[in-house]
Structure 1
Amino acid sequence: MANITHRSRPLAYTLRFVVVAYLFFLVVWPVSVVVQRAFDPTDGKPGGIGPLWERLSDPAAVYAFNLTLTVSFWAVVINTLFGVGISLLLVRHRFPGRRALSVLVDLPMSVSPVVVGLAIVLTYSTSLGLFGDVLQVVGLRIINSTPGLVMATAFVSLPLVIREVIPVLEEVGEDAETAARSLGASGWQTFWRITVPTIRWAVVYGVVLSAARAIGEFGAIRIVSRGAEFNGETATLLIQNEYSSFNEASAYAAALVLVALAVLALIVVTVLRPQESHQ
């Protein structure tokens, strides 16, 4: 046994080195370059916090980040409400088409976001869509508007809450909920006092992942939105537009903010994961 353990050590060290090197060259190095470029001097101007803040204070950048946060907020709210409901439906009930619904939930993870955006345009645009003209009659416009951005973002981040809540519901079972109902608790009382405390950390974890995914979405909203300055330009579209216009300093500054938000999401997930494991 000792010889086997001794022989496996070089292999383990080799695998660790390969994994660390892979992550370094694929993730750490590119991200660090973006961070460095965000603080570099450009156009004869000195680098540092001051010029970076000046680029982020530009009205177009402020508009883009405000729109991104607005769209992400509503997409996360929608996915949280429907995610918990769909999770309870899939775990606590048996019905025809249950497996098909479970497959549909994972569809956004396998379909390209660009295809998602195109599907939304073909369905809800006023010129091509099946429902665009009907919605326009009641004064609701989907394409090239905030509702369309919310719809596209909610679609691509749909499974994240569901796939965090379902394993927890399956693990805890129905014993506590059945006992509560047998003691006279109503459905809502059982949900709020038994189910919600059980899944709360899974929901929070899924919400953080959904928010990170929503903030960084590009493909679907690029199709649904005009993506012009002060007209449907989110933070990711701002980066593309600025970089394409050779205004690389502003693109790096906006990218730095998105990187910071992603790192913040990872920190939150890391902090919450131990708490979840002790529930």
Structure 2
Amino acid sequence: MVEASTPVRWAMRLLAVGWVGMLVAWPVGLLVRRTFGGGPGPLVDALTDPHVQYALRLTAMVAGWAVVINLVFGVTIALLLVRYEFPGKRVLSALIDVPLSVSPVVVGLALLLTYNGRDGVVGPTVEAAGLRLVFDLPAMVMATCFVALPLVIREVVPVLHEIGDDQEQAARSLGANACQTFWRITLPSIRWAVVYGVVLSLARSVGEFGAVKIVSGNITGRTQTATLVVEQQYQNFAQDTAYAVSFLLILVSVSCLVVVALLRPARAH
């Protein structure tokens, strides 16, 4: 490996820091300054607004369900991809990355066309059974699950490859069943990959906008999440509220990442 000279290393560091600062630190800093430029009043007003409170609770509910669903299916799919061989394995692996390449708005429209109660593919049948999907919580959770689907899987798969299956085979040879092997051998080995994937999934779910807007209908006090409140308030020239809610969303995401960085052991990096 060729080692770069000191001036080159410093130039590369300054370039990297400057680029990240321009894309992340500067915009976020301006948002924080706008939020607290006149004191904490706008943040307090936003937190005491019933519509904002409902939007925050709904966001937490949608993100919570999406994270739990993606956790269960993400770990299961990761184990399936690494530990088993089956026809269509490469196709499944490729499909997992579709949410990273498709616009969330397109995802929302696809869900709308599929589950719409009037002319959707399966929507009329579902609504005939007394279930409402589109413009309600279920479709919002589905849309959020879709956009955050790869995050847990892509964190767990490399770790499963790295640890191999020697310990799992040893456990099974000693009489452990599949559940015992998973809980006592596999899960402790991949726990930090799972935690980090969950945090990324949570941050992505909290900030989802496009897909949720399409399938929710953006009904104030019913299906309006925090990100939709930001758009509505900004367009209605209530920028202080928009800045305050945006700050809360950023605070949640950054806090999750900071907590994981502090709790994650050094050997897991």
- TM-score calculated relative to the size of structure 2: 0.96
Where do 1:5-24 residues align within 5 Å? 8-24=5-21
Q: Which secondary structure does the structure 1 equivalent of 2:97 belong to?
A: helix
Q: State the structure with more CA Rg.
A: 1
Preserved CA contact (<8 Å) 1:124 1:143 = yes
Q: Which secondary structure does the structure 2 equivalent of 1:158 belong to?
A: helix
Structure 2 Cα separation of the partners of residues 51 and 269 of structure 1: 30
Where do 1:39-54 residues align within 5 Å? 39-40=36-37, 47-54=38-45
Structure 2 vs 1, CA of residues 276 and 261 (structure 1 numbering), >3 Å: closer, same or farther? farther
Preserved CA contact (<8 Å) 1:63 1:230 = yes
Alignment of 1:221 with 2:221, yes or no, is no
Alignment of 1:63 with 2:89, yes or no, is no
The match for 2:31 is 34
Equivalenced residue count is 268
The match for 2:221 is 230
From 124, 127, 134, give the equivalent of 1:143.
134
Unaligned stretches of 5+ in structure 1?
41-46
Counterpart residue type for residue 28 of structure 1: A
Per-residue displacement from partner, 1:220-263 (whole Å, max 9, x unpaired)? 10111111311211000000000000010100010110111121
Where do 1:103-252 residues align within 5 Å? 103-252=94-243
From 66, 81, 90, give the equivalent of 1:99.
90
> How far did 1:126 drift?
1.2
Preserved CA contact (<8 Å) 1:201 1:272 = no
Counterpart residue type for residue 253 of structure 1: A
Unaligned stretches of 5+ in structure 2?
none
> How far did 1:276 drift?
5.7
Structure 1 Cα separation of the partners of residues 212 and 255 of structure 2: 23
Per-residue displacement from partner, 1:112-153 (whole Å, max 9, x unpaired)? 111110110010001231000010011111110000000000
Root-mean-square deviation (Å): 1.5
Structure 2 vs 1, CA of residues 221 and 276 (structure 1 numbering), >3 Å: closer, same or farther? farther
Identity %: 54
Preserved CA contact (<8 Å) 2:117 2:123 = yes
Structure 2 Cα separation of the partners of residues 222 and 28 of structure 1: 27
Alignment of 1:255 with 2:246, yes or no, is yes
Q: Which secondary structure does the structure 2 equivalent of 1:157 belong to?
A: helix
Counterpart residue type for residue 36 of structure 1: R
Per-residue displacement from partner, 1:40-82 (whole Å, max 9, x unpaired)? 3xxxxxx322442122210000010000000000000000000
